[in-house]
Amino acid sequence: MNTRVLTGITTSGTPHLGNYAGAIRPAIQASAQPGVDAFFFLADYHALIKTDDSARVARSRLELAATWLAAGLDPERVTFYRQSDIPEIPELCWLLTCVTPKGLMNRAHAYKASVDQNTAKGVDPDDGISMGLFSYPVLMAADILLFNAHKVPVGRDQIQHLEMARDIAQRFNHLYGSDYFVLPEVVIAEEVATLPGLDGRKMSKSYNNTIPLFEGGAAALRTAVMRIVTDSRQPGEPKDAENAHLYMLYRAFASAKEAGDFRAALESGMGWGDAKQALCELLERDLAGMRARYMELMAKPERIEDILLAGAEKARKIAVPFIARLREAVGLRRLGTAKAAGASAKKTASRAARFVSFRDEAGSFRFRLLAADGEELLISVPYADPKEAGAVMRRLQSEPVSLRAQGMAYVALLDETPVAHGPDCGEAARQEAALARTRAALDTFAG
């Protein structure tokens, strides 16, 4: 089975060297791996939360699409589309909004940070906060859940949003009695490069310290590199390569041997001017061919438009039937079939036990086995790793399980190891009935 991986790119700016090394390059490399079903989308709805400059959003959509294609993204191998070309995304966003507790949104980091800033200024806590910013995590959940992505690579600042997407998916599944949504897993790539900018801080448009990736050509790249801040050590003086952000930039694009040679040269007294020239030559070697493809694509926006529309068509082959199933689930059915469908849904729900994953207050990953009427039959022991919890849950659905009385409660064992516990039944007769009901529920999965 392929693993579906989904990545969104907000269209609110022009890509720089840090974006390429930290996100674009590793994502494209990962998409070429066997067994990966990769989805890449331009998050242009999300951009509207960050800026009201329509020209900037329009330009960024073009630049980002051209950048990813020039950098080697294969639209034949992956699904590459614009968020705004998939009408099922905002529709799903509304369905999810209707089951999302407001309290969950109140805890979102971005919203809380804005409220804290307003409070510090002495203005109304919600001053300047749009509903787009407030409910941003629900739209992000819709992006992910519409395609039932298994894994979502994100920065650490987005982990909470992925956890919210899992919470929302789990709540929907529970309310409507079926596993409509896969619970997505967070992927944090620790090895991904975070490049320093011209001043040594993280390269970011917010700090105005970026090195352009393609825009402005080789001349703009060279001008930026020559502005990189260095210490006052003169040619001939040994440099502290390990703490020099010029070396960190070089290492992100060089082979191990090239990086070692460059470090040795710095420590032997190579001048900063020569070092910057060496970095320019290294970057040109890697970027010149991509830049030429980028310029060609930018000159033919209609070609990019065709690629994005083809990607949207591919994506909607999944989205359209899935949203139809979700509409059926929530009761938005054709009137001629409403009664029959409702009866069928109730009949199905009446005999459907289910597993539900959740994260407890201590941050551990757990799951419950619920009877069709919602009664809790089992609750798992805590796991630090969500994959381990998921693996145990799958084993309970597919392998023989030992159920044993334990006091007036009971325990489920795999390989003679307790993995879940039943409730305290209070008396032997109720315990025996609960054991029988739990065995029957587990048998429905085995069947």
Q: Are 288 and 296 in contact (CB under 8 A)?
A: no
Distance between CA atoms of residues 144 and 345, nearest Å: 26
Q: Is residue 203 marked as binding?
A: yes
Distance between CA atoms of residues 440 and 353, nearest Å: 9
Q: Is residue 156 marked as binding?
A: yes
Q: Is residue 291 marked as binding?
A: no
Q: Are 409 and 424 in contact (CB under 8 A)?
A: yes
Q: Are 369 and 389 in contact (CB under 8 A)?
A: no
CB atoms within 10 A of CB 258: 14
Distance between CA atoms of residues 376 and 394, nearest Å: 18
Q: Are 43 and 10 in contact (CB under 8 A)?
A: yes
Q: Is residue 205 marked as binding?
A: yes
- What are the E-state strand segments in 279-434? 354-359, 365-370, 376-380, 402-406, 409-414, 417-421
Distance between CA atoms of residues 211 and 226, nearest Å: 10
Q: Is residue 273 marked as binding?
A: no
Amino acid (one-letter) located at 21: A
Q: Is residue 143 marked as binding?
A: yes
Count of alpha carbons within 13 angstroms of residue 329, beta-carbon side: 20
Phi, psi angle pair for 259, to nearest 5°: -65, -40
What is the residue whose two structure tokens read 């809380």? 112
* Number of helices followed by number of strands (H, E) in the chain: 18, 11
Distance between CA atoms of residues 185 and 151, nearest Å: 5
Q: Is residue 12 marked as binding?
A: yes
Q: Which two tokens stand for residue 22?
A: 């930290």
- Measured in residues, the chain has a length of 447
Q: Is residue 102 marked as binding?
A: no
Phi, psi angle pair for 127, to nearest 5°: -60, 125
Distance between CA atoms of residues 367 and 15, nearest Å: 41
Q: Is residue 135 marked as binding?
A: no
Distance between CA atoms of residues 179 and 157, nearest Å: 28
Q: Is residue 334 marked as binding?
A: no
Closest CA relative to residue 404, chosen from 393, 384, 419: 419
CB atoms within 10 A of CB 233: 15
Q: Is residue 240 marked as binding?
A: no
Distance between CA atoms of residues 184 and 166, nearest Å: 6
- Helix/strand/coil for 20: helix
Annotated binding-site members for L-tryptophan: 143
Residues in binding site for ATP = 10-12, 18-19, 155-157, 195, 202-206
Give the annotated binding-site residues: 10-12, 18-19, 143, 155-157, 195, 202-206
